[in-house]
Amino acid sequence: MEECIFCKIAAKEISGEIVYEDNDFIAFMDINPQEPGHVQVIPKNHYRWVWDVPNIGNYFEVVRKIAKAQQRAFDTERIVSKIIGDEVPHAHVWIFPGNAKADKKDIKGNAERIRVSLNKIE
């Protein structure tokens, strides 16, 4: 496994505000959010590109869960997702509400809103 910041977050060597975790994937708040509720969804194992993730269908099911929770948490239908991959050399999907009425700097509070919403839809 390559060492990168996302690998370290997945291994819990670096703390992150985690909103979702299962055996294969982890979702955490971005420390420089584009908008309130900005989450990074990554595979725990290191893959350079999203397209390299072998269980990509399961990956996008996690992305869908987070998006649905964000819709509920921030009372919006508009969710933005981006797959670019040049910021960190580890597969990741950016996902965030496009028009949330919240403070994007309140990472802990926004994370809790998403976790509460996840519990209601799972």
Active site residues: 92
Please say whether the beta carbons of 53 and 90 come within 8 A: no
Give me the sheet containing 39-43, strands edge to edge.
18-21, 25-29, 39-43, 93-97, 79-82
Q: Which amino acid is at 1?
A: M
Residues in CB range of 88: below 8 A, 6 or more apart: 4, 5, 6
Looking at the chain, how many residues does it have? 122
